[in-house]
Amino acid sequence: MPDIRLKAGLFVCALSAICIFLWLISGATVALAIFSVSLLIYLVIHISWLHKLHLWFKNPVLQEIPEGSGAWENVFTALLRYERNNIANQTQLNSALERFNLTANAIPDGLVILSPSNEIEWCTHNAENQLGLDLATDKNLPIVNLVRDSNFIAYLYNGEYEEPFKLKSWRNPEVVFEIRLIPFASKQKLLICRDMTQLEKVDTMRRDFIANVSHELRTPLTVVGGFLETLSDMAGAVPDALKSYFTMMQEQTGRMRRIIEDLLTLSTIESNTENPEDDEIDMENLLKSIQNDAIGLSQSLNQGLKNAKHNIHLDADPTLNLAGAQDELHSAFSNLVSNAIRYTPKGGDIFISWGLKNEQPVFSVRDTGIGIEQKHIDRLTERFYRVDRGRSRETGGTGLGLSIVKHILIRHQAKLEITSELGAGSTFSAIFPKARIVHKKVIMQA
Ligand code: ADP
């Protein structure tokens, strides 16, 4: 198709040639009049096509694009081509969006996209059902207006999303969801909501089963242990040849009793969904008493030698206290100190410290003991996971200590950090959130 400029140029040249010819035969007036009238008609035709174009833009339907003539044929043909491409792209985009929606809605988990200021931008049908949302009316509303659980709101604003959050359905408290928040793009968040009701039920059954079995085993074991003790104490009741077997039986019943006590402690802590008490714990006193217990343990492992095997150092910030459940935290800290003693050979050092690190309160126990190979570190808090089974048994371990520590710390929103070097020693640190800091009141003496 010829260029628009060529068409216009040809028209003006032809008109000029005709008018020059007319000038020669009919004079300048006729030629100029015809030239002007022709240009005027040319202009009117262009204005009318421009008007048609303007009308079409008001209602841009592909089928109604005018065909045009002259230079305008080029314009409308290009417009038709552009509009066809546009419609093809839009169709492709719509079908991609449709497929994305179908795929997203086929996922059993609910998905919600949140804006940087936590407004709902989009969600799947499952998320609507699970969280009681309706995208048609709730779009662009802050999610905290619709999911009003105070713990969820705290989790959302806290900004620490490594661990998922458990949310009870407000419509049916037996239904439990696991919420995960994944930041993406520029401060937007993807909220994933998974129905955990079945898994929670199985977990509760497991916990109840362990608690019941432990409870049922405790009484017969106490009876057996009691009889063994009575028989051992009765002069002549146990022949000398059998005495060593009796000692072994007593040791083993003692071990079983410790395992059962630890299992019961673990299931009590795990099934406790109430927040722990927020007592002000006098850390200096607590740690001094733990240090004394540790000296006792060290001596008992040393089987009666006068001096304790280990050098136990304490460095506690006297102005810093902790808010939490005293009994639980006492048990967690004692567990870490007792491990340090049990896994540090004679003459080793144990450093117990308490203070602020990066503005967070941290309790840590460092030892110069046997250390742990890197590959075991992530698994240490699993129930009954032991690096050295023999050593754990020898020193009275149950394999449950670090599991108990982990659960107590989770209840206090704290985390356990373990660093270790084989043969050089280990450091176990309990890192608490700033919110648990209590500054001790210093009493001024007159
Ligand atoms: P256990 O009763 O066996 O000590 P824990 O749950 O307390 O059980 O600890 C799990 C395992 O972690 C232990 O069996 C031991 O192998 C390892 N461990 C724990 N603390 C230390 C430590 N301070 N030094 C070396 N190994 C340790």
Total-model pTM: 0.70
Residue 309, pLDDT > 90, answer no
Which residue's C-alpha comes closest to atom 7 of ligand 1?
A: 401
Q: Is 191 exposed, middle or buried (0-12, 13-18, 19+ CB in 10 A)?
A: buried
Ligand 1 lined by 372 (C-beta under 6 Å):
yes
Determine the distance separating the centroid of ligand 1 and the alpha carbon of 397, expressed in angstroms: 8
Mean pLDDT along residues 348-365: 96
Question: Which of 402, 405, 420 gets mutated to test ligand 1 (max ligand atoms within 8 A of its CB)?
Answer: 402
State the SS3 of 316-363. Answer: ECCCEEEEECHHHHHHHHHHHHHHHHHCCCCCCEEEEEEEEECCEEEE
Q: What pLDDT was estimated at residue 301?
A: 78
Which residue's C-alpha comes closest to atom 3 of ligand 1?
A: 399
> How sure is the predictor about 389, in pLDDT bands with cuts at 50, 70 and 90?
confident
Ligand 1 lined by 322 (C-beta under 6 Å):
no
Q: φ, ψ for residue 271 (rounded to 5)? A: -90, 0
**Tokens representing residue 383 in the block:** 């129930």
Rounded CA gap, 13 and 4, in Å? 14
Q: What pLDDT was estimated at residue 265?
A: 93
Ligand 1 lined by 334 (C-beta under 6 Å):
no
pLDDT in tens, 98-154: 999 999 999 999 999 999 999 999 999 999 999 999 999 999 999 999 999 998 999
Could you tell me what percent of the chain has a pLDDT over 90? 68
Q: What pLDDT was estimated at residue 446?
A: 52
Which residue's C-alpha comes closest to atom 2 of ligand 1?
A: 397
Determine the distance separating the centroid of ligand 1 and the alpha carbon of 417, expressed in angstroms: 14
Q: What pLDDT was estimated at residue 271?
A: 84
Q: Which residue has the higher pLDDT, 20 or 237?
A: 20
pLDDT in tens, 364-386: 999 999 999 999 999 999 999 99
Ligand 1 lined by 396 (C-beta under 6 Å):
no
Looking from the CA of residue 392, the nearest atom of ligand 1 is 3
> How sure is the predictor about 444, in pLDDT bands with cuts at 50, 70 and 90?
low
Residue 88, pLDDT > 90, answer yes
pLDDT in tens, 285-306: 999 999 999 999 998 876 655 5
